[in-house]
Amino acid sequence: MIARGARIIAVDRDKEALQKLATELGHGLDLTAVEGDVTDEGSVAAFVARAREATGRIDIFFSNAGIEGPVHPIAEYPLADFRGVLDVNVGGVFLGLKHVIPVIGGGGAVINTSSVAGLTGTAGICAYNASKQAVIGLTRSAAAEWGGRGIRVNSIHPGPIAFRMMASLEEGLSPGKATEVRAQFSAMIPALRFGAPEEGAALVAFLASEDAHYIHSAVFVVDGGFTAS
């Protein structure tokens, strides 16, 4: 997005991660790092206001915050952990939509990150599955409400991506055997490999662009064919 000329307001509750991002991407580029918590309505309202102050307007909202939660069968899944996952993955999307959509410019784009877990079921990650399926409902409700103003709301559904979250799930699914789990997952993907973060980012950039001006309420899978069978 930065390469395409976007002015970026990056939000995270992890101050160190924000500083690292600003160091890696911010040099000579138009990026503002803002500490915020997507589960706290006051914080969401504040970072939306900060974005408008910094840029004058909001044209694109990429709702990407998410956590995977622990791996347990449903009968053993702690209620506090279940609620925690939904608070970030569903509540965070809801609060973002609530505070951004009313101020986003006409013709703007909202992209919500779900997952292939929003389309399938996997033993041990019931909270993550439930949360990512809920993102589809929120996306479609928002598209129905705001499409008439030319605001496009869509969701993306990445498959296994070579990044921190997938590594955590691999370890949780089979402690001490994450490498074997990755090999098993890779064998299930027609592309025979995990995706790269940049491959998901390319889809986000397309959905944010004018080339996608008639795409509303869509579910876009970027998974190397993982959900083909």
Order of all β-strands in the sheet with 58-63: 58-63, 104-113, 152-158, 219-222
Residues 48 and 103 sit within 8 Å (Cβ to Cβ)? yes
Q: Is 77 a catalytic residue?
A: no
Contact 73, 82 (CB under 8 A): no
Amino acid at the residue 153? V
Q: CA triplet 52, 54, 57: central angle to 5 degrees?
A: 35
**Owner of token pair 């006409």:** 106
Residue whose tokens read 């390319």: 202
CA dist., res. 13 & res. 39, Å (int): 10
Out of 62, 128, 194, 226, pick the active-site residue: 128
Q: Are 223 and 189 in contact (CB under 8 A)?
A: yes
Assign 3-state DSSP to the chain and report helix, strand, coil percentages, each to 5.
Answer: 50, 20, 30
Q: Which two tokens stand for residue 138?
A: 């929120």
Question: Residue type for 156, please?
Answer: I
Catalytic residues: 128
